[in-house]
Amino acid sequence: MPLVREAVDYWNRTFTEIGSPFRLGAITVVAGAVPAEQLQALSTSVLNGARVLDLPPEIGAVSGNIVVALSDGDFVSFAHRWPERQKALVAIKSDRYNPMVLPNVARNVIAHEIGHALGLGHNSDPAMLMCGRPASCRPDAFASSTARFFPLTADEKARLIALYPPGR
């Protein structure tokens, strides 16, 4: 949970820095809402490019627009959006499995997947937060003992401003 709070703070600071009034709201903790097996199946579907049509009821029942599921399962962490329902799921695999055991990995994976929930895609720059498949995104800083978030590209900041424009 502390890393989720740090990731939310990261995104709220980012929105402040780019001049957007948008903010992620308060975090509510709900235990046991989504079974690990369901997250594993969704991960496989999302990674294979399948469109997940139906919002699983366990996710729909959780209040809030972005549901972050911290799992004890072993799957590829992912995010998926249901725009018509104004709902997104961020599913994070257990911190007991590689590469989540390395310093900085869990923090940046959580922030990265929240970035997808906010509407960002992947880039190919291994030093940036939103680097993703098929690019190789394993910079040495992942293993650093210095806690930090990777930055966003100028294009990603512009996309956020377009999605969440400054007030007029």
Convert the pLDDT of each residue in 105-122 to its tens digit: 899 999 999 999 999 999
Encoding tokens for residue 14?
């980012």
User: Which residue has better confidence, 140 or 49?
Assistant: 49
User: Which residue has better confidence, 1 or 133?
Assistant: 1
Contacts of residue 135, Cβ cutoff 8 Å, sequence gap at least 6: 122, 123, 124, 125, 126
Q: Give the residue numbers spanning the domain of 42.
A: 2-163
User: Is 168 inside a domain boundary?
Assistant: no
- pLDDT score recorded for residue 138: 66
Does the model's pTM come out above 0.85? yes
User: Is 88 inside a domain boundary?
Assistant: yes
Q: Are 75 and 40 in contact (CB under 8 A)?
A: yes
- pLDDT score recorded for residue 36: 87
CATH number at residue 86: 3.40.390
- pLDDT score recorded for residue 135: 64
